Structure 1
């Protein structure tokens, strides 16, 4: 069984037991969270698609860790104008483990 969920402005295809990194979710490590923005649930040949969300479908997950991603380096330059700009960014994330998918 798999589901397509929406969290942090992005969509993810998840299965039970999978761990994935999503945008920061409020909560402590080890706490259970419920993701209720389920767009689609598939089980073998049976697929249920919401318009846009499936009513009553939820995905239960557990927060595994919080962290920061790798540094992204941004470099801007205008040739012949003596303009150079260096910038860096590290995005925060929350790693979650999918425990149960209920349709």
Structure 2
């Protein structure tokens, strides 16, 4: 059984027990979250696609912690003009495990 859920502007194919990094969610470590934006659910080879969401379906996540991604260096410059700007960015993520898929 798997489901396709939308969170943080992205879509993920998840099944029970999967650990994934999603865009930062406002939740503390150990909390459970219910995501009701389920786009599709497959159970025993039967695919149920929502229009746009599947009625009554939800996915339960357990938050494992907050983390940050790899540092990205942003460097802008214009040749021969002595214009240089350097900045760094680390995207915040929430590490979650899929506990249950209900359809």
TM-score (norm 2): 0.95
1:14 aligns with 2:11: no
| Match in the other structure for 1:34 | 34
1:32-60 per-residue CA deviation (whole Å, 9 max, x = no partner) reads: 11011000111242101011111100001
Q: Measure the CA separation in 2 of the matches of 1:24 and 1:59.
A: 17
Give 1:100 shift.
0.6
| Match in the other structure for 2:92 | 92
Q: Which runs of 5+ in 2 are unaligned?
A: none
Q: Which secondary structure state, in structure 2, belongs to the residue aligned with residue 21 of structure 1?
A: strand
What is the aligned length? 103
Q: What RMSD over aligned residues (CA atoms) do the two structures have, in Å?
A: 1.0
| Match in the other structure for 1:71 | 71
Give 1:85 shift.
1.2
Give 1:69 shift.
1.3
Give 1:78 shift.
1.3
Q: Which runs of 5+ in 1 are unaligned?
A: none
Q: Measure the CA separation in 1 of the matches of 2:77 and 2:83.
A: 6
